Amino acid sequence: MENNQLYNLLNLPAEVIHNLDKYGSSGKNTFNIDIEDLIQNTSLVKELDKLIAGSTGQDEDGTKILWEELNIARQSFDEYQKRGIPDRIFIDTMKFCTRFLNEYYKTYSCYRFVWGWWFPRQLALLELLKYESMAILDWVFPRYNKISEELPENTSLQTNMKKYLLGGNKPGWTKGVLKSVWE
């Protein structure tokens, strides 16, 4: 699969695709990893975004990291196929990039990819996770980075999540098992 095929499958915004193509054609993209190493080494998964950032340098809008991770996603696609996982599952999994980019745009009126730390889990076909993480604030309460009475209650999810968080609870990350429902 070529990069532009992947971008189109994921319905990435045109402006983001333009920036990705610009970086991809710059010849500065140098990060390389074997997907088998990533799948077999959870320590590598946890450090991948830092390794990529170290090789790409300054990346104000996250385009470089996104390009490098999408480049790895093309290898992941092959692994999904080897395991008999339908293309639709791959596409829906990787579309988190599109969703996050669009959500960032709605909030800040520009595209920025700030989830390089999240992507390696999808690339390695696994989910790790951190019970203490409060990253939920990014999705449920955009622009808020701490738990307080100031959290908005514009939706029932926000209202219930605010009550849950103010009660000292932590949602953590999810862990699941993919069942073969497509057979």
Of the candidates 54, 26, 180, 53, the one whose C-alpha atom is nearest the C-alpha of residue 115 is 53
Q: Report which residue type is found at 46.
A: K
92 vs 107: CA distance, rounded Å: 23
Per-residue model confidence (pLDDT) at position 43: 81
Q: What is the pLDDT of residue 128?
A: 44
Closest among 3, 82, 67, 4 to 36, alpha carbons compared = 82
Q: Do 23 and 63 meet the contact criterion of CB atoms below 8 Å apart?
A: yes
User: Tens digit of pLDDT per residue, the chain (183 long)?
Assistant: 889 999 999 999 999 999 999 998 987 766 778 888 887 877 888 888 888 888 888 889 999 989 999 988 988 898 888 888 888 888 988 898 999 999 999 999 999 998 877 788 788 876 547 556 677 777 788 888 889 999 999 998 899 989 999 998 877 665 545 555 544
Quickly tell me which residue has 């990039």 as its tokens: 97
Q: What is the DSSP string of 119-156?
A: HHHHHTT-----TT--THHHHHSTT--S-STTS--SSH
Contact call for residues 76 and 116 (beta carbons, < 8 A): no
Q: According to the model, what pLDDT value does residue 113 have?
A: 92
Annotate 17-43 with b (16+ C-beta within 10 A) or e (fewer).
bebbeebbeeeeeebebebeebbeeee
